[in-house]
Amino acid sequence: MTSESWLTSRRRFLNRLALGTGAAAVSGLFAPGAFAEELTRTPAQTEGPFYPDKLPLDTDNDLLVLNDAITPAVGEVTHLTGRILDAKGEPVRNAVVEIWQCDANGAYLHSGTDNRQKQDRNFQGFGRFTTGSTGEYYFRTIKPVPYPGRTPHIHYKVKVKGQEKLTTQCYVKGHPGNERDGIWRSIRDAKQRESITVDFAPIKNSRIGELAAKFDIVLGFTPEA
């Protein structure tokens, strides 16, 4: 990626954030309408051993750039969006969505990670987003990569009013490693598996090959007003 196209991309990202329309602009898929009875509750998945043991200084929703750094992380740029919904399908406001994942070399932001010597110092590895009234969240990150023993995935934790409500993982649809992954396979229900396995689709006309992924999360409860 040239530095010019990188800066253009970065500027577009920031503009979208400023407008508050990022998620919708990327996916175009926020039509209302799923009926509660059609909703599949998002299955819980193990937290795993690599939730950061020391959070980065920057915990915003752009995992590609640390603070004001010029050099972005290595990886396939992905605009990751979705909505946090309650058991009735209503958007959950003020939900704190946390994600963490390994960098393009398979290293996590954790003192016990593999590949520590190959760590991408420009990758934030962890991010947070607090939902507004639409329940939408938005991250810019990299498409997850496999590491020994695991198919590609992004870890998620959702907190509401300071309480952890769900810990799960999001997977890449069509990745051949999914069928061999013991954690992915531990979900027996086909619809539940489908609900956490999403498309990472090329964004049309993106000159730098950006991807868009949409992962809606349905919590198993309805917050009290």
Minimum distance from residue 102 beta carbon to Fe ion (Å):
6
Give the C-alpha separation, 164 to 43, whole Å.
14
Residues 46-85 close enough to bind Fe ion by CB under 5 A: 48
Question: Euclidean distance between the first and final Cα of the chain, in Å?
Answer: 47
Give which of 157, 197, 192 is closest to 178, Cα–Cα: 197
If one asks whether residue 146 binds Fe ion (CB under 5 A), the answer comes out as no
Residue nearest to Fe ion (CB): 48
CB of 53: closest distance to Fe ion in angstroms? Answer: 14
State the minimum distance, in angstroms, from the CB of residue 150 to Fe ion.
Answer: 6
Residues 34-53 binding Fe ion (CB under 5 A) are 48
CB of 42 to Fe ion, least distance (A): 17
Query: How many residues make contact with Fe ion (CB under 5 A)?
Result: 1
> Nearer Cβ to Fe ion, position 48 or 56?
48
Name the residue nearer to Fe ion (CB basis): 23 or 154.
154
Nearer to Fe ion, 48 or 223 (CB): 48
In the complex, minimum distance from the CB of residue 46 to Fe ion, in angstroms, rounded to a whole number:
9
Q: What share of the chain is helix, strand, coil (3-state, %, to 5)?
A: 20, 25, 55
Q: Are strands 217-218 and 77-85 parallel, antiparallel or unpaired?
A: parallel
Cα–Cα distance, 156 to 154 (Å, whole number)? 7
DSSP assignment string, 132-153: -TT-EEEEEEE----BTTB-SE
Strands 153-160 and 95-100: antiparallel
Q: What are phi and psi of 10, to 5 degrees?
A: -60, -40
Closer CB to Fe ion, residue 154 or residue 218?
A: 154
Nearer to Fe ion, 48 or 91 (CB): 48
Q: Which residues bind Fe ion (CB under 5 A)?
A: 48
